[in-house]
Each structure stands twice: as structure tokens, then as C-alpha cells.
Structure 1
Amino acid sequence: MFKISNFITAFLIVFCTVNSCSAQQNIDKGSLFIIGGGSRSVDMVMRIATESGIDKGGYAVILPMSSEEPDTSVFYAKKQFTELGYKNVYGLQFEKGEKPNQAKTDSIRNARLVYISGGDQSRFMDVVTGTDIEKAIHDAYANGSMVAGTSAGAAVMSKVMITGNELKHPDYSSTFRNIEADNIETATGLGMLTTAIIDQHFVKRSRHNRLLSAVIEYPDMLSIGIDESTAILVKNGMAEVVGESQVLVFSNPKKSKVEKNGRLGARGLQLDIYLPGDTFEIK
């Protein structure tokens, strides 16, 4: 519907070359802003802008490869920033199998904010896995930038990524009907978080069974359910809840797993429910 102009890509290339964008970045590791989907309030968008630093300079890139309509996805994601006066936000689309030149990947690498839109997390990873695009996202984070994502863009943050599919019940449902062994399908995500699994739209879509399955099947990891219009800001090993609703964190400190007739059980699971403003540790 809305075409991403080639002018945008050209502008980013020239901007980075002339202004030496990499010199603007902090040397410390960056931050993550992981949104559970749904609407994003003005306060949340402003928090992204100020925490990433695009309110002071540099620029943001939106990566819409999760979406079936990437141009439209860029349009609406960008609109939220531009309506608040942030004009330095651009879309950058890549196709599966594309071998982008260094100038395009540098546009990601040197951005203060890399924002991954919603859609289908598997579609996004199908485009970026093992490519210079994926490496550029990690380089941006390592240089001190923020990597943000909503919905599918949240799911890709985990190394162990929930695809949303059930292995035993392939007909789509927004939530799991059962807590069963060998049912939750995972794939490899971006790995911005290696010690936690992210689920999204969590309270609104009652995805408790899915994340309970995950915390039993992957007992060494936190399983984090982020509700709509809610996010976690992750930096320096801590997560802060931002937004309107709750974040649920399941853990399995006893590494417990019991299986009978395909059903999963466990002992000593822990659940913490965090509200906006609360913080918790992510090692």
C-alpha cells in the first residue's frame, strides 16, 4: 500500500558515511525494549525515543520483515514517532535470499534504535538467520543501541523462540488447550536474550498453558509473558515493566518435569506477576 522510497535507503547510506554514525554510539552494551503487542501509548513511544537516544540525535530503523505487508507496517510504526516530532525514523526492508551491501547493513549497525515490527516471527527469522542483517542487529546492540520489537518482534528476542505453533494440534488457536509434552514448537530466534523465553499478548489471550509448557520443557530458562500495551525495558541485567498491564515470569528452580500419558507435570514452579514500574533480574 505505502511504498518505502529508495530515497530513504540512499539517505541513510549518505547520513552514515558523512556523519560517522558509529562514533555516536556508546561503547557499552545496549538495551532491549520488548513489547507484548497491542497498542502503544504516547508515553511508551516517548520512552523508547528517550532511552534509545533518538530524541538527541542519530536515527531509528524499522525492520518490517515479520509482516505480510511490510510497507504498511513501516508506515504505521513510523507514524507513532513522527506524530511526536521524531522525524529521524526510516523503514528498511530486506527480502529472503537478499545479499545486502555493506551500506545497507551499516544502516542497521549504526542506528540508535532498531525496531522490529509485528507479524510472524518465523517469517522474520527466515529472512535474517545467518545473514549480515542478523549480525548488524547484534553489532548495533553491542555498540550501545536499543533493539526493540512488538508482538512477533518481541518473540524473536529469545534464542529459544516460540513460533506459536503446536506440534500435536496444528490447527491454529491463540492459546494452548493443554499442557503436553513435545507439543510446543520452538525455533532459533535472534538470541538477544539467551536465558529467557518471551511470549506476547499474554494475559489478553490467556497463553498460560503455552508458557507453562515452555518452563517445564526448558527448565533452565525464565519464561516471560508480556501482556498487550506493556513492555519490558532490559538493560544491565535488569528488566523494568513499562506500560499498562502485567508481565508474568515463570521459573522452574527445581528443574522439575513429570510426564504421564503425554501430560506434563512439575513441582515447585514459581510465578511472579509484575506491575508497571516493577523490576526483576534477567541474568
Structure 2
Amino acid sequence: MRNNRTLIIIGGAEDKKGNKEILKEVCASINKENDKLLIATLATESPEEVGSIYKEIFSSMGVKNIKFLNITSRPEAFEQENINLINESKLMFFTGGDQLKITSLIGGSPVGDALRENYKAGCVYVGTSAGASVVSNNMIISGDDEESPKKFTLKISPGLGLIENVIIDQHFAQRGRIGRILAGIAQNPFILGIGIDEDTAMIVNNNSSLKVIGSGAIYIIDGREITYTNVSEQHQEEVLSIFNVKMHILKRGNAFDLIRREPIEEEEI
């Protein structure tokens, strides 16, 4: 059993043909000869195609034991075979697609329970795109891209709950999602908003600190010190007004303490 809990959260569109920095890091987190890597294709509409792409990549990097979790109906989340796949895995890789498909299929099921317990026991969780958003207690399921933030147009739903007190958005700079994560922080300043660019990932250890890898940036929005916001359910289409928001921008090699809500100096990494 591992002592550490590790999340590798990818903003989507990770490099699959060049240096593959992020996917190499994923494979390096397990014993390639003996550990089972489970590719979970619940979110995608093309599970065979997507699963095949990742299997080929992980196999080329030396991972010997690769299995698939492809649940397409809720009764399958109660089947012992799928529970066993979760329990036997040392790394669970959730692909992109629709994050609401993941929670609607396995939320409150034995597979969902097994996933959380196996993660607590030391199984590495990796999620890209939809698989990234779903990792927190609450996840963004829809909101306006490339628009000024609106007061109450963001839709949030319960996630898998592997990390607390954050909401995560992916494809961040590429799809102009700063407005919708600001709306989320305005609704609940207690949580941190984390935006992750494409081909960028954060490695989170024990829910306490993160380190950035990949070619883009990670944006951390802290609303604890907000002094004013007009957020409310009235006049929902109005532009959001919000004062005194703090934002950190991190690149490859930077780190952040999620408990103290402070960047970590490079010499401390």
C-alpha cells in the first residue's frame, strides 16, 4: 500500500505524439512491469477508439498490464467484475468527454465507492479534460466560454470528491474560461478556482500541494478576500462584478501549497 495519495490532473489535449512529457510522468508513477493501469472511458462517446489510442501510448512507454473500464449503463457500476478492475489497479486514467456521464454512471455505486477507497489506499488517479473536472467535490458542467462573467449562468454538480475545496476547469486559456471560474468563486469564495491549460497538468500530493508540468500555465483564483460581489439569482444575465480577487499564474516547475494558499518558493520544491 502506498503512503501517498497522488492526483495527476491534466487540462486536456496533452501531447500524444511529441515528447509526451505529461504521459511519461503518468507512466513513471507506477511500476511498469507489475502494476495495473486502468483506462476508464466512461466520459467519451468513442470508448474503443479513445481507449485504443491511450493503450498504444502507454504500451510504447513500457506499461505491461493495461485494462479498460468501459461502463455505459448504470447497472454495470454494480457488477463485481468492474469493482474488481478498480480494486486491482494501481493507476486509474479517466479520459475526456462529458464529466456528467462519469458521475451519473458511477455516483453512489459500488464502483464509485471502490474508486474512492482505492485512491485513499494509494492508487494514482489521473484525469484529463472531463476526467480532470470530475475529481473535486463540486465540478463545473457548463458555462459560457470566451464571455464576460455573468452573475449566475454557471452550472455546478457534485463530482467524485477526491480533492476538497477546489473547482477545476480545463482547456482554460484555449477556450477563454476565466469568466466562468470567476463566477464559481463569486458563488463560494471558500473554494479555490483552478484553471488548467491544454498540455498542462498539476500533480497533487495528499491534497496539500501541487506542482506544475507541461507546456502551458495553471491559474489559481482565490476569493477569500473578496470585498464585494453582485452575484445573486436575480437578473442572472447581468455581468458579474467582483472586487479584490487574488490570482496566481504558475508554469512548469512552479508549486503551490493548497493548505496555506500560497505559492511555494522554487528552492522549497
Q: Report the TM range for the smaller structure's normalisation.
A: 0.7 to 0.9
Give 1:3's aligned residue: none
TM-score normalised by L of structure 2: 0.87
Change (3 A) 1:156 1:39: same
Paired residues, number = 249
Q: Equivalent of 2:41, from 57, 64, 67?
A: 64
Structure 1 gap segments, 5+ residues each: 1-24, 167-172
Aligned positions of 1:209-220 closer than 5 A: 209-220=179-190
Alignment partner of 1:206 is 2:206: no
| Contact 1:36 1:226 (8 Å CA) reproduced | yes
Give 2:52's aligned residue: 75
Alignment partner of 1:55 is 2:25: no
Give 1:279's aligned residue: 255
Alignment partner of 1:247 is 2:218: yes
| Contact 2:14 2:22 (8 Å CA) reproduced | no
Corresponding residue SS for 2:147: coil
Q: Equivalent of 2:6, from 31, 42, 55?
A: 31
Corresponding residue SS for 1:98: helix
> For residues 215 and 176 of structure 1, what CA distance do their matches in structure 2 show?
17
Question: How far off its partner does 1:225 sit?
Answer: 0.3
Question: How far off its partner does 1:224 sit?
Answer: 0.3
> For residues 111 and 191 of structure 1, what CA distance do their matches in structure 2 show?
19
Give 1:105's aligned residue: 83
> For residues 218 and 256 of structure 1, what CA distance do their matches in structure 2 show?
13
Structure 2 residue identity aligned to 1:280: F
| Contact 1:215 1:221 (8 Å CA) reproduced | yes
Give 2:141's aligned residue: 163
Give 1:269's aligned residue: 245
% identical equivalent positions: 26
Question: How far off its partner does 1:257 sit?
Answer: 4.2
> For residues 86 and 56 of structure 1, what CA distance do their matches in structure 2 show?
6
Question: How far off its partner does 1:191 sit?
Answer: 1.1
| Contact 1:63 1:114 (8 Å CA) reproduced | yes
